[in-house]
Amino acid sequence: MTFLNPQLLAVGLAAIAAPILIHILMRRRRRPVPWAAMRFLLDAYRRQRRRTRLEQLLLLASRCVLVALIALAFGRPLLGAGGWLETQGPRTLVIVLDNSLTAGVVGQGGATDFEGLKATAESLLKDLSPARGDRAGLIAAAGPAENIVFPPSADIAGVIQSLQRVTPADSAADWTGAVAMVRELQQQGAPALRLAMLSGWRQGSADTAKPLPPLATPEAARDGAAPIAVQATRPAARPAVNVMIESIVPLSSVVLAPGAGGRDPAPALARARLRRFGTDATGETRVTMSMSSASGAMGPSQHATITWAPGQETAVVSLAVPPPQGLAGDSGAALIASLDPDDLPADDRAVLPIPTRGQLRAAIVSPRRVTPGGIRPAGPDQYEPADWLTLAVSPSASAFDRRDDEVVVDLIDPQAATGEVFLTHDIVFVPRPDLIDARGWEALRASLDAGGVVFVTPPPGAASQAWHGRFRDAFALPWTLDEEPRGSGPEVQGWAVAPGVGEAEQPLFALVGPELAELAKPVRVFRVWPPKAPAPRPALALADGTPLMMITTGPTGRGLVAYLSTAPDLAWTNLPAMPLMVPLIQETIRQGLGRAQGPAWASAGQTPPWPQGSASARKVDLSGGTTAGEGVIEIIGRGEGPTPRAERSAGLWRAVDASGRTRGLVAVNPDPAGSNTGVQSPDAVMAWLGALAGPTRASWIEDTRADAPESGVSDAVPPTGSRDTPWDAYLWAAVASLLLIEMAIARRVSHASLDAAAPGLSGAVAHGRAAP
């Protein structure tokens, strides 16, 4: 049995001596004074002495028990409701230890919440007795919850050793998963089961708005399953100041490495979004951004300082980040944003992989046209859609058959569009979809699934209407085109820009967004072949709301389908001859390529999106090199075996195939859901925990260690109310009852009511004592 207020209990138990001393002092012998009728009184006293002593002893006992009960009530005992069900048999203790991101909060003394929680867990384990048959289990709460020692083991020393090996993670706590493990044990009928949930209960540790599932299912309660006592450490009372990196958004979604012509790589534009917790005062945060190669080589760092206004919670900073020296073409790079250390250092860094290319490769699927001179037509009025697209893809080349340093353009005949012909291209333009057969659509789908961009436009002339059905089926599009094109008059004034499909913070035309409205003014669209209504929000639209450009992610989560609802032909629109044409195509290539690669990062606690064909991954040491033999993950490729496990720790990983070739970079970042370092009220946490085993079976763990840290357990504010100690009400009810009994006995002993059988004796005893 333990007590919430052991000091008050000790003082109360010591007070039991008070009624005993009073009783002894009242029995002091007085000097007898003889008087005439004393003989008769002595005879009466001797006849009733036994009953009088019994009444006095009962009165003394009732007063001692009354003082003891008051002491117990103030001491607040934790009996069956507070943890151990008082039994002499073996007991089972299951500890759920919060090693989530929030547990890494650093206290004023330099110790983290997690260190204090581990010390409390060790103290609980040392109270167990292996000789009695006690068992202990250990579950790490960082999501997904992990069974460190489970089912419970009788090797208490081994459990303590396993406890020491538990390390903090970067994921949010998974209390639901931990409770599910304990429920299975409870259904197996574990005797005297005690669940100790150890956490600082900050807002990032537990969402009290989402109730926990009860430990005892209705079926288990009906079958007479043993009850579970739930104990928990008190919530932290001191708010911790924390600024975390909520997201990194690359405005340049692909980095071009130095080309064959000695081209200097351009910096990558990136935007970091920050959020802070635990304070609303003014302050400053220094942000650093840099870029790492797949080998861990770091580029120059760029810095910015954010000044927080009172009450400000979020901020955004944009920087141009230079790539590192020696960046290889297709090896990949990673943007790294970091902050100065605060009370939660674990979420002060975020990483975002970004694809790299030595050159961009574009394919245009269109028949080759040979003129009498053997060259392309010289006048714009003779250009076909493929010609306009070629000009927009490589506007700086000197010859019409363009081989630009940055973008290589390949013209592919529709009859040759088979197999893996497009897998080496970053984007494929299809201005004549009516000429693509079934094998061609299969080849385009393979390019899409590999992370490529497929850009489709309607055919310019009179064409079969069957192509748009094959187009929809090949890419599993969520929308359907109209049966035939419709005309649009010259009264259309321009385009209204809408957000792109996918990441709301990364529109496809973010870099040209401020100039887009001005560039669109001279554009006129005369014919369109748009999707049927209702259609998803378009990337670009005409002034009357007709979708002009649709962006859709591939059905596998990789690849990007872009559909321009007007043909790049002067009979349909003057867009090809307008200044908007080049940025429209260029941003589709450069921004679309980065988005087409699919997600290359995950939050801690999730399964990383390993690239297709990956066999293993090595953790990249962002301090300047790769790890040697450490931090290796064995991966089974997508569709080739079991799902890879979730990663609980943040970092940058280089995925390789069986031959050791780099397949791509994947980042795991701290889970933003676990970054909230705000505190929660003890009453709210206790009500949340009460759903597990009922409010009458949940209570706080009192940490009485002299070296308890100032965070987590020991800095908690005591809870209010009696919900956490349900025996208080019973004790105070017993005090009231015993008080009534004591008053009745005292009235009886004092002979306040005259005894008709012995009136003289009653009056004499009521006013004084006679010597024996």
DSSP 538-586: PSEEETTS-EEEEEEE-TTS--EEEEESS-SSTTTBSGGGSTTHHHHHH
What is the distance, to the nearest Å, from the Cα of residue 405 to the centroid of all Cα atoms in its chain? Answer: 44
Contact between 169 and 206 (Cβ < 8 Å) = no
Structure tokens at 734: 């017993």
Topology classification of domain 263-358: Immunoglobulin-like (2.60.40)
Angle between helical axes of 759-767 and 38-75 (0-180°, round to 10):
60
Model confidence at 168, pLDDT cuts 50, 70, 90, reads very high
Residue 703 has pLDDT above 60, yes or no: no
Which pLDDT does position 558 carry in this prediction? Answer: 87
Q: What backbone torsions phi and psi does residue 733 show, to the nearest 5 degrees?
A: -65, -40
pLDDT band at 203 (very low <50, low <70, confident <90, very high): very high
pLDDT in tens, 461-499: 766 678 989 999 999 999 899 888 888 554 444 444 444
- Omega prior to 32 cis, within 30 of 0: no
Average pLDDT over residues 323-331: 79
Q: Is the pLDDT of residue 674 over 60?
A: yes
At residue 326, does pLDDT exceed 90? no
Residue type, 34: P
| Cβ 627 vs Cβ 621: under 8 Å | yes
Q: How confident is the model at residue 511 (pLDDT cuts 50, 70, 90)?
A: confident
Region 317-342: what's the mean pLDDT? 88
Instruction: Between 713 and 266, name the one with better pLDDT.
Output: 266
Report yes or no: 349 and 650 within 8 Å, Cβ to Cβ: yes
Rg (alpha carbons) of the chain, rounded to whole number: 40
| Predicted local confidence at residue 496, as pLDDT | 45
Helix (H, G, I), strand (E, B) or coil at 514: helix
Please give the CATH number for the structural domain made up of 90-239+683-724.
3.40.50.410
Distance CA 41, CA 33 (A): 13
What pLDDT does residue 514 have?
A: 76
Residue 107: the pLDDT is 87
CA distances from 87 to 48, 83, 453, 759 (A): 46, 12, 68, 54
* CATH numeric code, 380-596: 3.40.50
Range(s) of the chain covered by CATH 2.60.40.10 = 263-358
Residue 585: DSSP 8-state: H
pLDDT of 36: 63
When pLDDT is averaged across residues 639-661 and rounded to a whole number, the result is 79
The pLDDT of 53-81, averaged and rounded, is 75
**pLDDT for the residue numbered 358:** 82
Average pLDDT over residues 726-750: 77
Q: Does residue 525 or residue 10 have the better pLDDT? A: 525
Query: CATH 3.40.50.410 residue ranges in the chain?
Result: 90-239+683-724
The whole-number average pLDDT for the span 189-215 is 87
Mean pLDDT of 702-708: 47
Q: Sign of dihedral through CA atoms 338, 343, 345, 351?
A: negative
Q: Which residues pair with 682 in a beta bridge?
A: none
User: pLDDT class for 359, splitting at 50, 70, 90?
Assistant: confident
Cis amide prior to 144 (ω within 30 degrees): yes
Average pLDDT on 311-332 reads 87
Q: Which residues pair with 356 in a beta bridge?
A: 255
Residue with tokens 């569709």: 639
* Nearest to 162, CA basis, from 173, 147, 172, 177: 147
pLDDT value of position 705: 40
Q: Do strands 698-701 and 560-564 pair parallel, antiparallel, or not at all (unpaired)?
A: unpaired
Which residue in this structure is represented by tokens 């040209």? Answer: 512
Res 363 pLDDT > 90: yes
Quick check: 682 pLDDT over 90?
A: yes
Taking the C-alpha atoms of residue 718 and residue 735, their distance in angstroms, rounded to an integer, is: 24
Whole-angstrom distance between the N-terminal and C-terminal Cα of the chain?
Answer: 47
Taking the C-alpha atoms of residue 348 and residue 692, their distance in angstroms, rounded to an integer, is 34
Average pLDDT over residues 308-314: 94
455 vs 131, more confident: 455
Q: Which stretch of 374-383, 587-596, 633-642, 703-712 has the lowest confidence by average pLDDT?
A: 703-712
Closest listed residue to residue 348, CA positions, set 105, 107, 556: 105
